[in-house]
Amino acid sequence: MFGLAVGVVIVSSVVGGAIADRIFGFDTLDSWLPRTSVGANGQKVLVEESVTIDIAERVSPSVVTVSVEFPQREVMGFDFFQGFTSRFEGGKPQDIGSGFIVSRDGLIVTNKHVVSVQGAIYKVITSDDKEYEVTDIKRDPANDLAIIKIDLAGAGQVLQPVELGDSSNLKVGQYVMAIGTALGEFRHTVTTGVISGLGRGITAGSAFEGYVEELDDVVQTDAAINPGNSGGPLLNSAGQVIGINVAIADGAENIGFAIPINVLKEALNHFETDGSFASKPFLGVEYQMISKRSAIVNEVPEGAYIASVVAGSGADKAGIKEGDIITKFGGEDLNEDNNLASAIKKKKVGDSVEVELWRGEETLELSVILSGSSE
């Protein structure tokens, strides 16, 4: 089970702009001096502990586990002693991520990368161990968000939504709590920490696994976030969601990241009106940025190396191919300080953009029309 827990690791990170939560300002930290109270059973409980316990008890019923079941398929293999063999993979649900309830009628928020496999069967497990089949998924690839709908018909259960906070006034040092299915195994794991940084820009994912995504203005925290926590809530001291846990730093301890909740609130407003996420400019490629050092070593230009092209996309129609290196996009040089995702975000759906790319020893100029991306 551990192997399937969904968690995004960081390939690299840079400092971006500033974001900031008005609920628990820095000044209120003065009130967190160690004090004790006596519980009903006579056990002494620190005030800090009572806050954590209260939040965990109130919010846990709103946090869910997301499981996936892949269609069963036969996999052929070869063994030196037994010759050709076969085994079956899939067909068994496994916990892979987390999410939280945002409406009483069955809308749940998670990360897009948690529910990214087309054709898979996804289910949601609530805190009372009831399972619900996911009937619809709307994805926002640009922000790594997804809204999933579960079927409550005949369930006789009223869901308890979370309370959404405000991420426009967050402070470094502010208390936070994370709840989720750690390692895809331990449901409703509670961890605490502080906000370690704001306005981080990260490159999340793995080029070796075929996907990389750029996320701007994310919140850094030292609250323990593990694979399987993806999509779960990051909470303030009032028990309000101020972020969606999304990534951890590879090879480091106590460095996790969350998408600010205001990004979700904006997306939810559009979703409630149109039933989908707002359309974003879409080029239609998977890529990996080539660093200056890599460019020198491999004798290629800096830019975005194209790993794959989406069939029928603007990139495909313009003639961009796998193995190309895009060096300029809309007149802007692409490099470590200005990646392709950032350049695309500055454009609008329907824009015609001039692209300069390197193919072999040849430099080409193409015109690409950006389509809209919303799932």
How many helices (H) does the chain have, and how many strands (E)?
Answer: 5, 25
The alpha carbon torsion through 123, 128, 3, 86 (nearest 10 deg) reads: -60
Distance CA 344, CA 357 (A): 15
Domain with CATH 2.40.10.10 in the chain: 2-32+162-274
Type and span of the H or E element at 145: strand 145-150
Q: What's the confidence (pLDDT) of residue 74?
A: 58
Query: What are the angstrom distances between the C-alpha of 235 and each of 107, 111, 223?
Result: 19, 16, 11
Residue the block writes with tokens 């009223």: 158
Residue 31 amino acid letter:
S
Nearest to 190 by CA among 225, 218, 160, 165: 225
Distance CA 62, CA 126 (A): 8
Of 92-106, 243-257, 292-306, minimum mean pLDDT range? 243-257
**Domain 280-373 fold:** Pdz3 Domain (2.30.42)
Distance CA 42, CA 255 (A): 37
- DSSP character for 127? T
Higher pLDDT, 301 or 91: 301
Q: Which two tokens stand for residue 188?
A: 């409703």
Q: What's the confidence (pLDDT) of residue 163?
A: 96
Q: What's the confidence (pLDDT) of residue 143?
A: 83
Q: What's the confidence (pLDDT) of residue 281?
A: 85
Catalytic residues: 113, 144, 230
Greatest mean pLDDT among 146-160, 201-215, 289-303 lies in 289-303
What is the average pLDDT across 2-6?
A: 47
**Domain 2-32+162-274 fold:** Thrombin, subunit H (2.40.10)
Distance CA 70, CA 116 (A): 12
Q: In Å, how far from its chain's centre is CA 189?
A: 18
Type and span of the H or E element at 353: strand 352-359
Domain with CATH 2.30.42.10 in the chain: 280-373
Q: What's the confidence (pLDDT) of residue 57?
A: 95
Q: Which two tokens stand for residue 178?
A: 């994370």
pLDDT tens-digit series, residues 189-229: 999 999 998 988 776 654 434 455 667 789 999 998 888 88
